[in-house]
Amino acid sequence: MNGQNSYISSTIVKKQGRGAYYKMLENVRQGELIQVRRGVYADIDQLSGNMIDINTVVPNGILCLWSAWNIHQLTTSMPQAFHVAIKRGRKIITPSFPKVQIHHYMESILLVGVMTMVIDGFNIHLYDVERCVCDAVKFRNKVGMDVCSEIINNYLKREDRNLSKLMDYARQLRVGKILEQYLQIKL
């Protein structure tokens, strides 16, 4: 491993020689290393943290929904998996551990509100707070009205809220009228 939080690539280990490659395979057999996806391995300590290297597990993936809501402290619920947004039609194989749930978005709305944040030493792409609120409204029937309401209430309590940006995103994501109704009730 190159750094504290970097995953092991079998290609890089092969360049170090056969001995290093066989040692890596032995570590996998003993359970010291876990295969994250084909050719990528991580040790148990890396996977037991709060965050994984999303870009290694799902290249160009964006943390969304429950995972992003939790990071932005919009909900008290803990996500049961890493929720990752990718372009619709893209095929991806997810590892059995850690659990990753894939959400497919149209290319036109996939990159709306994407930001980069360093979490546990990893550069993570995730949706900003305003996009997260819009997603809560968009998927309110799937996540539940109580979760949607909690997210809106927590957003409105924030000092750094930006209602014009929120409404701009809402129009792009086609939830502008619904969000406007919620905001009229809450404000």
pTM (2 d.p.): 0.80
Q: What percent of the chain has pLDDT over 70?
A: 95
Assigned token pair, 148:
């949607």
Domain coordinates of the chain in residue numbers? 8-47, 54-186
Angle CA(43)–CA(81)–CA(30) in degrees, nearest 5?
25
Nearest to 128 by CA among 81, 168, 174: 168
Mean pLDDT, the chain, integer: 90
Whether residue 77 contacts residue 31, with contact meaning beta carbons closer than 8 Å, is answered with no
Distance from C-alpha of 47 to C-alpha of 53, rounded to nearest angstrom: 9
Q: What is the pLDDT of residues 77-121, one digit of tens each?
A: 889 999 999 999 999 988 877 899 999 999 999 999 999 999 988
β-pairing, 114-119 vs 40-43, is unpaired
Distance from C-alpha of 71 to C-alpha of 50, rounded to nearest angstrom: 10
Whether residue 7 contacts residue 1, with contact meaning beta carbons closer than 8 Å, is answered with yes
Q: What is the pLDDT of residues 121-149, one digit of tens each?
A: 889 999 999 999 999 999 999 999 999 99
Assigned token pair, 178:
């619904």
**Residue carrying structure tokens 């194989």:** 93
**What's the Rg (C-alpha) of the chain?**
19
pLDDT value for 137: 97
Does the pLDDT value for residue 50 go beyond 80? Answer: no
What is the torsional sign of CA 120, 135, 114, 128?
A: negative
Residue 93 parent element (H or E): none
